Amino acid sequence: MKKISIIILLGFAITTCKQNRNKDPETNPEFTKETLQISDTTTTIYGNYVDDSYQKRKEGYDWVAVTVKENVDNAIFISVRSRADKKDPTCTFDAKAYKNDKNTYESIYDGKKIIYKFSENSIHISSENKEDEKILYFFCSGGATLAGTYTKINEALDTAQVDKTNFSKVLNFQNVGFNVSAIEKDGKNILTVFTFGLKEKDYNESFDLEGYHVIDAEVEDLNSDGSPELFIFTQSPGSGSYGNVLAFSVNNMKSMSQVYFPSTAENKKINSGYMGHDEFAILETYLVQRFPIYNEDDSNSNPTGGTRQVSYKLVEGEAMRKLEVNSISNY
């Protein structure tokens, strides 16, 4: 098993809900200072929601639950987990959902919208179009579906029964599939990455995240060579919330290898005033990073130096491809 040096590989990409993106990261309206603000969503939507079978779990019933967490970019994290102590999990799903109106969020998978409708004490999951309902069966087994209404509970999910998978996402790009999952095992957070559909050798590796957790994963053809890149976004524990990425590049649709990303903390071009809290996004052919700038006497919770935005391009290196600083701006 390989061990990740979290400081070595960094990055982040906005999820599959990429809408109307400009090619210029300096002018892209989706990645501006305003998006650093936390969503104005009322905190009452955050928490755990369960199906009707959850209350009968001690009688041996299977159950499915939805966890909703806060995020920036006017978005929320949606995680669907199920019972896993007696059999394989029924449903496993993770997505970043964007606000549509006061009570509705949406995410996109395979070009189809998944809708999350909140009421006072429940969440209802459905496809936007009835003909797309089958997509909600993709993330479940045994004929089950994500679709339905889940009721909020004011407590943690049953730790003895709940699936220990911390993250799970299947991505497809240019006929290549990427399966990204992270699970807590023996006190470690283990990330597994494997591909399907490469012409010569599919990739299958596991990594010890050393306590970090996966936030999201995305694919994009950054160097426009007809083969995609995979970005897995992680975040450190504690108040620093250092954003990180494990990056990979597909080689002529035949195999996949890692991409080098220089440590922000050690990069003198951009690290002045850097204390974490960074965000990353894939904007067309750039990886873009932003983070608050800390002045000398600033506390961790109160940066006063504005925001720095850095764009990176994918280039060929001597031993491996790498992400190289393309532009820097402060505002």
For residues 20 and 42, the model is more confident at 42
Which of 97, 127, 153 finishes a domain? 153
Over residues 65-70, mean pLDDT: 94
Q: Domain for residue 14, yes or no? A: yes
Over residues 22-29, mean pLDDT: 48
Q: Domain for residue 306, yes or no? A: yes
Q: pLDDT tens digit string along 128-173?
A: 999 999 999 999 999 999 999 999 999 999 999 999 999 999 999 9
Q: Domain for residue 304, yes or no? A: yes
Pick from 162, 252, 165, 128: nearest CA to 200: 252
Same domain, 220 and 103: no
Per this entry, what is the length of the chain?
Answer: 331
Same domain, 249 and 224: yes
Of the pLDDT bands very low, low, confident and very high (cuts 50, 70, 90), residue 13 is very low
Of the pLDDT bands very low, low, confident and very high (cuts 50, 70, 90), residue 70 is confident
Which of 121, 153, 185 finishes a domain? 153
Q: Domain for residue 298, yes or no? A: yes
Same domain, 32 and 54: no
Please give the structure tokens belonging to residue 149. 């209404």
Same domain, 67 and 86: yes
Specify the pairing of strand 2-3 against strand 204-208. parallel
State the CATH number of the domain containing residue 80: 2.40.128
Residue 246's domain comprises: 2-36+164-330
Same domain, 63 and 82: yes
Same domain, 103 and 147: yes
Q: pLDDT tens digit string along 120-136?
A: 999 999 999 999 999 99
Q: Domain for residue 8, yes or no? A: yes
* Neighbouring residues of 228: CB distance < 8 A, sequence distance ≥ 6: 173, 174, 176, 219, 220, 221, 250
Q: What's the CA gap between 233 and 279, in Å, rounded?
A: 10
Q: What's the CA gap between 237 and 197, in Å, rounded?
A: 35
Q: pLDDT tens digit string along 74-101?
A: 789 999 999 999 899 999 999 999 999 9
Q: Domain for residue 159, yes or no? A: no
For residue 130, the SS3 value is: helix
Q: What's the CA gap between 98 and 41, in Å, rounded?
A: 11
Q: What's the CA gap between 290 and 19, in Å, rounded?
A: 19
pLDDT at 43: 56
Q: What's the CA gap between 168 and 284, in Å, rounded?
A: 24
Sign of CA dihedral 45, 115, 35, 69: positive
Decide if pLDDT at 249 tops 50.
yes
Q: List C-alpha distances in Å: 208 to 126, 263, 329.
A: 35, 19, 34
Same domain, 298 and 182: yes
Of the pLDDT bands very low, low, confident and very high (cuts 50, 70, 90), residue 45 is very high
Same domain, 83 and 143: yes
pLDDT at 99: 94
Which of 133, 153, 173 finishes a domain? 153
Q: List C-alpha distances in Å: 319 to 218, 251, 258, 316.
A: 24, 14, 10, 8
Same domain, 248 and 183: yes
Q: Determine phi and psi for 73, rounding to 5 degrees.
A: 65, 30
pLDDT at 241: 83
Of the pLDDT bands very low, low, confident and very high (cuts 50, 70, 90), residue 28 is low
Same domain, 170 and 294: yes
Specify the pairing of strand 93-101 against strand 104-109. antiparallel
Same domain, 197 and 286: yes
Specify the pairing of strand 64-70 against strand 229-235. unpaired
Q: Domain for residue 84, yes or no? A: yes
- For residues 309 and 329, the answer to whether their CB atoms sit within 8 Å is yes
Decide if pLDDT at 16 tops 70.
no
Q: What's the CA gap between 173 and 66, in Å, rounded?
A: 27
Decide if pLDDT at 10 tops 50.
no
For residues 198 and 72, the model is more confident at 198
Q: What's the CA gap between 2 and 229, in Å, rounded?
A: 20
First CA to last CA across the chain, in angstroms? Answer: 42
Same domain, 125 and 28: no
CA angle, 100 then 105 then 110, to 5°: 105
pLDDT at 280: 85
Q: pLDDT tens digit string along 261-275?
A: 888 888 999 999 999
Q: Domain for residue 158, yes or no? A: no
Q: List C-alpha distances in Å: 294 to 72, 303, 305, 328.
A: 19, 5, 5, 16
Decide if pLDDT at 27 tops 60.
no
Domains held by the chain: number: 2
Q: What's the CA gap between 167 and 184, in Å, rounded?
A: 10
